[in-house]
Amino acid sequence: MSSLSASDKTLVRESAVSIRSLGLVYKTTLDRRPTLRNRLGRLARRKRQTRIVHAVRDLTLDIPYGQVTGIIGSNGAGKSTLMRVIAGILPPTTGKVEVFGKVSTLLSLGVGFNNKLTGRENVYLGGLAAGMSRDQIDEKFDSIVEFSGLEEVIDAPMRTYSSGMQSRLAFSVAASLDPDIFIIDEALSTGDARFKVKSIERIRQMKSDDRALIVVSHALKVLREICDEVIWMDKGRLVKRGEPLEVIKAYRSFLEVGSSPETDEDF
Ligand SMILES: Nc1ncnc2c1ncn2[C@@H]1O[C@H](COP(=O)(O)OP(=O)(O)O)[C@@H](O)[C@H]1O
Ligand SMILES: [Mg+2]
């Protein structure tokens, strides 16, 4: 990956993700009042209501290697949408996104999990979905399970797992994929305190390996601790980016002034 020496890196950091004038628009058909009568009526009229959401607007941004980048913002700010675009799950509506490396993301893995299967089967399913071979998964299986701390229940169906346990397994699989760029979308606060500490350690280790870590979270305290830079998004736009403490402070005072429901979230 990086061929720069440590002293060079303080001056120039290689770009992991380059985003230019990105726009993402969702177009969905909408059932405003989903009663049977209503639906039949609308079908009869063959009329469709379309809802257009500008989830990301004119966003230009570079995310470098060798640092942890935090993303904050209220619900609906467009954070997850941006992550899906970086992960290649959603194509941009306008603008351009270039990704210089292999991306692994917890969100696409979570989608790959099947609740009826056991934890063990889901490790294989998630690994295969992410492009690992069966042999590669065999090789990593024990360390994945050990990291998740789920040895005792790994052969139980996943539906018997708490959501914290599910995200522990997802994190463990995703971190084992050896990604250049690792995206964690709101999965840090779901595990218990001990796992949180473990995942933060893992993130730090990946950062020292010169990877790019992108962490979306409402856990502002954690972000302040682990991030080198924080990006605040609102209504699909970049509001502020820079030194974590400064951006988090600005976001907090915005929340207080706006007295939005998000003020109750994990600080
Ligand atoms: N699959 C989808 N279809 C239509 N609208 C969506 C979809 N996903 C998200 N949105 C809308 O896009 C906006 C941004 O959502 P999202 O990226 O999930 O924000 P965040 O992760 O910051 O909470 C919201 O208004 C949300 O309702
Ligand atoms: Mg989200």
Ligand 1, atom nearest to 75 Cα: 23
Q: Mark residue 35 as left, alpha or beta (left: phi above 0; alpha: psi -120 to 50; beta: remaining).
A: beta
Q: Is the CB of 55 under 6 A from ligand 1?
A: yes
Measure 218 CA to ligand 1 centroid, in angstroms: 16
Amino acid at 14: E
Q: Mark residue 236 as left, alpha or beta (left: phi above 0; alpha: psi -120 to 50; beta: remaining).
A: left
Q: Is the CB of 77 under 6 A from ligand 1?
A: yes
Complete domains list, the chain, with CATH: 65-88+102-264 (3.40.50.300)
Q: What pLDDT, on a 0 to 100 scale, did the predictor assign at position 109? A: 52
Q: What pLDDT, on a 0 to 100 scale, did the predictor assign at position 9? A: 44
Q: Residue 154 has what DSSP assignment?
A: T
Among 147, 193, 152, 201, which residue's Cα sits nearest to residue 170?
Answer: 147
Q: Is the CB of 1 under 6 A from ligand 1?
A: no
Q: What pLDDT, on a 0 to 100 scale, did the predictor assign at position 259? A: 47
Neighbour-count burial for 36-72, b at 16+ CB within 10 Å, e otherwise? eeeeeebeeeeeeeeeeebbbbebebebbbbbbbbbb
Per residue of the chain (267 residues), give pLDDT as tens.
444 444 444 546 789 999 999 999 999 886 656 566 666 665 656 556 788 999 999 999 999 999 999 999 999 999 999 999 999 989 999 999 999 999 987 755 556 688 899 999 999 988 888 788 999 999 999 999 999 999 999 999 999 999 888 888 988 988 888 889 999 988 776 678 888 888 899 999 999 999 999 999 999 999 999 999 999 999 999 999 999 999 999 999 999 864 444 443 444
